[in-house]
């Protein structure tokens, strides 16, 4: 408003002083340019940060994946050599298998469990409020503490789990040392840590469903299980869809838990892609090879996300309650 009034005043002012028109025109032009530039200037810091910390590293990683480099010596161009090596390495397939197994089981168990718990915890009773905050605690605790606690619980000699199994007359399990068991132990811990978050998100999505729908369903003789599948699930589908995607991406990127609890062992049984990248990059100093793995991880997440969207997004109900 003020600007426009000022402009008007200036336009009116022009005929009075002869040397002014040009200066006014330039001023006007500058002002218009400044106005047009304002939004770009505003987002510039964010874009710049994104470029420096996201876009540049990605491009650098892609570039690096075409070289052999040990961080000290000269960089040797190998083209797709790193990828060729990757695909011919049997360990790589083991790591990929581990990654998918971890992702699939962690996400599916966590989401299904979270759904079941959310159905029971959504009722606003005092006990439920307490339980909801209890179950959320693991999500807040740092992974370091979680790893320590569970490594202790799962210790095959003096861990609490085996102690209790012993009390119950069962033989102990070598939770983290048995190559056939370790991955499942990791999944248990991952589910335990992430469950609270999923429950809270799903509970709040369920709270957004108008209660009248359930009343209408009651009048329609709807059994609880059917109400869950025909009303609750479709109504929370946007949240569920997004939450599952976030879970999938997070599971693909698991690192700290592996590093802290098993170091990828025993015999690579719990080695996952990101941990493998870390090992090749910063332990074996094969940065090109690690970068090639990184590129692959990126593509993998992109493809999985796209496939996930393609398969499910049509079945998600968007648009408010009517």
Partner 1 sequence: MTGIELRGVEKAYGGNQPVIENLDLQIEEGSFTVLLGPSGCGKSTILRMIAGLEKETAGEIFINGEDMRGTSPGARGIAMVFQNYALYPTMTVKENIEFGLKNIKVPKAEREARVDEVVRMVGLTEYINRKPQYLSGGQRQRVALARAIVKKPRVFLMDEPLSNLDAKLRAQIRTDLIELHRKLGATFVYVTHDQVEAMSMGTDIVLLEGGKIRQQGTPQSIYSAPRNLFTAQFIGAPPMNVIKAEDLGPGAVSIYKLPRGTASLGFRPEHTVIGDGTGVPKGVDLFRGELVAREILGDHAIYKFKTDLGIVHAKVMSGSIVEYGEWFVGAERKYLYCFDEKGDAII
Closest separation in Å from C-beta 127 to partner 1: 17
Of 235, 243, 273, 277, the one binding partner 1 (CB under 8 A) is: 235
CB of 86 to partner 1, least distance (A): 45
Q: Which of residues 199-218 bind partner 1 (CB under 8 A)?
A: 210, 212-213, 215-218
Cβ distance to partner 1 smaller for residue 114 or 235 = 235
Q: Which is nearer to partner 1, 113 or 213 (CB)?
A: 213
CA 298 to CA 73: how far, in whole Å?
27
- Quick check: 254 and 248 in contact, CB under 8 A? no
Which of 220, 302, 306, 307 is in the footprint of partner 1 by CB under 8 A?
220
Spatial separation of the C-alpha atoms in residues 294 and 302, rounded to whole Å: 12
Nearer to partner 1, 3 or 221 (CB): 221
The CB-side HSE value for 84 (13 A sphere, CA atoms) comes to: 7
**CA gap 180, 156 in Å, rounded:** 14
Smallest distance from the beta carbon of 118 to partner 1, in angstroms?
Answer: 18
Which residue reads 């209408």 in tokens? 216
Taking the C-alpha atoms of residue 176 and residue 172, their distance in angstroms, rounded to an integer, is 12
Q: Which is nearer to partner 1, 202 or 261 (CB)?
A: 202
The CA distance from 245 to 243, in Å, is 5
Separation CA 137–CA 134 (nearest Å): 5
Q: Are 301 and 277 in contact (CB under 8 A)?
A: no
Q: Interacting stretch for partner 1, rule CB under 8 A, among 23-31, 32-40, 175-183, 234-242? A: 234-242
Q: Which is nearer to partner 1, 3 or 211 (CB)?
A: 211
User: Rule CB under 8 A: which residues touch partner 1?
Assistant: 210, 212-213, 215-223, 226, 230-231, 234-235, 237, 317, 319-322
């Amino acid at each position: 408003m003020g600007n426009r009034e000022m402009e008007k005043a200036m336009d009116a002012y022009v005929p009075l002083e002869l040397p002014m028109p040009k200066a006014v025109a330039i001023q006007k032009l500058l002002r218009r340019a400044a106005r047009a530039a304002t939004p770009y200037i505003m987002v510039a810091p964010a874009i710049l940060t994104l470029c420096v910390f996201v876009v540049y590293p990605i491009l650098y990683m892609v570039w690096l994946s075409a070289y052999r480099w040990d961080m000290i010596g000269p960089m040797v161009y190998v083209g797709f050599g790193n990828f060729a090596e990757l695909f011919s390495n049997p360990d790589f397939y083991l790591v990929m298998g581990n990654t998918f197994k971890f992702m699939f089981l962690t996400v599916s168990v966590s989401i299904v469990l979270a759904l079941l718990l959310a159905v029971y915890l959504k009722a606003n009773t005092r006990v439920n409020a307490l339980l909801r905050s209890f179950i959320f605690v693991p999500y807040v605790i740092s992974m370091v503490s979680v790893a320590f606690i569970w490594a202790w619980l799962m210790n095959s000699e003096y861990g609490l789990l085996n102690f209790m199994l012993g009390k119950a007359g069962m033989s102990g399990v070598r939770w983290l040392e048995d190559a056939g068991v370790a991955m499942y132990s990791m999944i248990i811990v991952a589910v335990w840590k992430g469950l609270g978050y999923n429950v809270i998100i799903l509970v709040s999505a369920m709270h957004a469903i108008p209660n009248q729908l359930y009343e209408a369903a009651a009048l329609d003789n709807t059994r609880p299980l059917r109400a869950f599948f025909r009303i609750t699930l479709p109504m929370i589908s946007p949240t569920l869809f997004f939450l599952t995607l976030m879970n999938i991406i997070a599971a693909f990127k698991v690192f700290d838990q592996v590093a802290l609890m098993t170091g990828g062992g025993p015999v690579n049984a719990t080695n996952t892609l990101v941990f493998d990248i870390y090992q090749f990059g910063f332990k074996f100093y094969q940065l090109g090879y690690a970068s090639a793995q990184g590129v692959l991880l990126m593509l993998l997440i992109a493809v999985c996300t796209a496939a996930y969207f393609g398969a499910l997004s049509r079945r998600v109900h968007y648009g408010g309650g009517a």
